Each structure stands twice: as structure tokens, then as C-alpha cells.
A and B are shown apart, each in its own frame.
Chain A
Amino acid sequence: MNANRYIARAADVAARMIGGEMMIMSGADSSLYSLNETASILWQAADGVTPLAQIVERHICADYAVDPATALRDAEELAQDLARHGILLLADAPVPDATLRDTVPPARESP
């Protein structure tokens, strides 16, 4: 397992937290996804430049009673699954452009 992997949100999806669930729609094929708590954590932290191991350490191990090696392995499997669905990018190098993507835009005001 490569500990220096990076995750970034795919560009052609829209996402928003609603009712405690992170819902994501693929703009390419209109598929709808709903992420569980752990997947939501990864998704929200997927800035393309923070190593996955660091995300797991900061956001999962710090809040859940799980050993780092197991948490990282589970996170990588989860990231691979999300990547297979085309809603997350999994890379061996940073994806700096991902930090510019705002796939979770703030609520819009009424006109």
C-alpha cells in the first residue's frame, strides 16, 4: 500500500450535505450517491494536496478508536471504490488544482 496517496474530488460532480448525509451527483450521468460518515469525512478532506494518510490520522484516527494502519487500509479501499464510481480521484502525487474546486457551494440566497 502506498502511504503517500492523494485524493481529490472529481470536477464533474456536485455535492452537498443535507439531513446529515453527503449527497453527490455525477454531472456526467446523473448518478446519485449518498456517502456514509467515514466516506463523507474523506470527501470533505479530499483537497488533492493532503496525503491520504494524513487525512486519516487527522480526521479519522483522532475521532474514532481505530488503529492507524487499519484505518488507512479501509480509507484506501473506500477511496478506490469512490474512484471507481468517478466521484473521487486517487493519485500517487498531489492534485493541486483540486483545491480550487468548489463542489460544495454555499447555500444560495433567494433573488
Chain B
Amino acid sequence: MTAAAARSRTDICIGDITVAVHSSNAAFLQLLEDRYAGFLQHAAAPDYQFEVELTPPSEGSPDDDVSVYRRNGRWLLERGDFRAEWDPAARQGRIRQSANPYSIDSMLRIVHTLVLAREGGFLMHAASAVRNGRAFVFAGVSGAGKTTLARLAPADADVLSDEISYVRKEAGGYYAYGTPFAGELARSGENLRAPLEAIYLLAQGAENRVETMGKADAARGILANILFFAEDVEMVQAVFLSALELVERVPVRRLTFLPDIRIWELIH
């Protein structure tokens, strides 16, 4: 019997926020433990708890659009392959999905975006890495070079993610955290945390170059790379204002690069 089978829940800790996933299906919990290895941390008092109701695998498609909206204080998260409800005040929710790691992965991303939006943080389409105790975030759309940059990271850098970066606003400023949300690298990031030193907006070009950016252009670039799914006026406004605050407080630069390891010489 595995450790997962002996328990009825798996605790997944990302960004210092623990979500306990409850299920009576030991095989499913083992699936989660494999998927989130490196981000498992048992918590006596998890921040949030979700009960999983497993359905037959034929229901719905993960390619459908996701819908996230609030009704009577509860968040409803729906996509073809899952339906979840979450009461943030009670810190509890339920998800109905088949026994796969992808549906709950999406649910976790959405829940984290909602939690972070309340405190001025974000999930971003970005690679990120820690070097010399400082975190650097490299934001860009698909194809911008996030995975390439992560692959080129020097030996003394710890990659936090090659796809989805996690930024929290804390008492001392902004911090980047590792995530298990991987892109083409197909590998979870390191479960580390470091103060955010700078954000680079990626562009591919004929040479390696770093350019300073005006605040307004930086804000547009940051906003274009924030993950946020909720159809909710109040939360959208909060994310917008938080993004502009981030731009005021953290350097944002444009990074044009070749797929060349020397690009890391410009990162500091």
C-alpha cells in the first residue's frame, strides 16, 4: 500500500499556499503525488480543501473554453472536462472530473490566480529562475522563447518554471516561487522562493539585447502575460491595478535574444 492509499488526501503546496485534495480513490491520489512530486507538503491546517468526485473518463473535453464566475459568494469553475465549486470564505470546494491530472491542474491554476488577485500577485505566462538568490521572470506568449531560455539557464541558476511563473506580493516586496506548471520542458520547476529582481519581456531577434522600457509599455506587456480567467468586474479591476503597481516597483525590461547561452550574461 502506498502512502497515498493510506491517506484520503494529498496536500499540494505551491507558492506557500497549500491545497488539500481529498479523494477516496487511492490510485487518483497516487497520480497526483506523481504529478506534483516536489510540491507535496502535508499541512496540519491546509489553506484550502477540495473534495474530488471522480466521473467516467468520457465526460467533456479539456479543449473547451473555461468559465470562471462568482455566484452567491462561491466561485464556479467550468470546462468541458471538469466542474468545480469553491467557497473562498469557507476555504472549501468540490471538483467533479475524471481520474486525470490535467483537470485538477487547471483548477489549481485558476484557484491560485483568484487567491493571488486578492493580495496583488499573479500567475504569468513566463519562465523564471533564481540566480544568486534573486529571481528573474521572463514573460512572453507561446513561442517567445520561455522554454528556450530555461534550457539555456546556467548551472548556477535554479529554474522555477519554463511556462507559468508565480509572483506573490509580500511584506518585503515581490517574490517569485517555483511551480509544477511546466511547458515544453515537461519538468516541474524547483520548489524555491526568491525576491523578484526584474521582469524581462521576451522578444526574439538577431542579437542579444536588453532595453529599458517606459512604464506604460511595460504595463501593457505585463498585462498581456497575466493569467486570469474570472469574469468578474471587481477582480479584473484588482488585477489591473496590481499589475500597474508591480510595474512601478519592479524593473521591467525588454529582452531580445538569440537562442544562445550568452544571453544569461545580460541577466542581472
List A residues at the B interface (Cβ < 8 Å): 12-14, 16, 18-21, 23, 25-28, 30, 32, 34, 105, 107-108, 110-111
Contact = CB atoms under 8 A, between A and B. Distances in A.
B115 interface: no
A19 B245 contact: no
A23 B244 CA distance: 9
Contacts of A28: 233, 236
A19 B237 contact: no
A14 B244 CA distance: 11
B215 A14 contact: no
Interface residues of B, number: 26
A12 B223 CA distance: 18
Given A23-B216, A27-B236, A28-B236, 4 more contacts: A14-B237, A27-B240, A34-B216, A107-B245
What 10 pairs across the A-B complex have the smallest Cβ distances?
A: A19-B215, A27-B233, A14-B237, A19-B216, A25-B240, A21-B216, A27-B236, A27-B237, A12-B233, A14-B240
Contacts of B214: 19
A110 B244 CA distance: 14
B233 A18 contact: no
Contacts of A108: 120, 241, 245
Interface string B214-255: 111111100100001000111011101100110110000000
Contact of A18 (B120, B228, B234, B248): B248
A11 to B, nearest CB: 9
Contacts of A107: 245, 248
Contacts of A20: 215-216
A19 B215 CA distance: 5
B168 to A, nearest CB: 11
25 contacts: A12-B237, A13-B237, A14-B238, A14-B241, A18-B215, A18-B216, A18-B247, A19-B216, A19-B217, A19-B218, A25-B236, A25-B240, A27-B232, A27-B233, A27-B236, A27-B240, A28-B233, A32-B220, A32-B223, A32-B240, A34-B220, A108-B241, A108-B245, A111-B169, A111-B170
